[in-house]
Amino acid sequence: MNFIMFNPIFIFLILTALCIFSIIILQRSPPRQKITPANEKNFCINHKDKRTTSLCHICNAPFCEDCIKNHTTLSFCLEHFRLLEKYQWIPILSFQINAEESQDGLILQNFKEMIWNKEKIPSYIVVEYRINFEEDLIESHISYFTRKQDQDLLIEKYQVFREST
């Protein structure tokens, strides 16, 4: 028995079998998902282990169902839902686009994100879809909402932003 236990070939075979067994086990278990910048929008910013159910319409941050509140067809984080309740919100821009003419919608989205990221002025965009049977089109009606107190400032800033793009 001592001959078998201390035989180098026997030890080599045992270690090889253990390595192969470990490789098989590791391949069968699902890899742990590491939160990286590429997939962090899939997880709530407050609960890193909970999947995102919505983005806040003001800050665009990802939140789980415990951290989001719905208002009509929109979603807001708890902080911005309180902001929504506190102020009077009005549409300051409204226009229609279709699939062929989506540039105005992209410009507005970029403006909204810039105004939030640089100046923390809250606003949100509402998109309503309508079917135009006469022209066989799906139309997008876009409205840009802000607090009443910010309307003049944002109209002016939007015009400057629009001219620069």
Which of 95, 152, 154, 160 shows the shortest CA–CA distance to 127?
Answer: 95
**DSSP SS3 for 125:** strand
Q: Which domains does the chain have, with CATH numbers?
A: 37-86 (no CATH), 88-165 (3.30.1370)
pLDDT tens profile 110-148: 999 999 999 999 999 999 988 888 988 788 899 999 999
pLDDT tens profile 65-81: 999 999 988 999 999 99
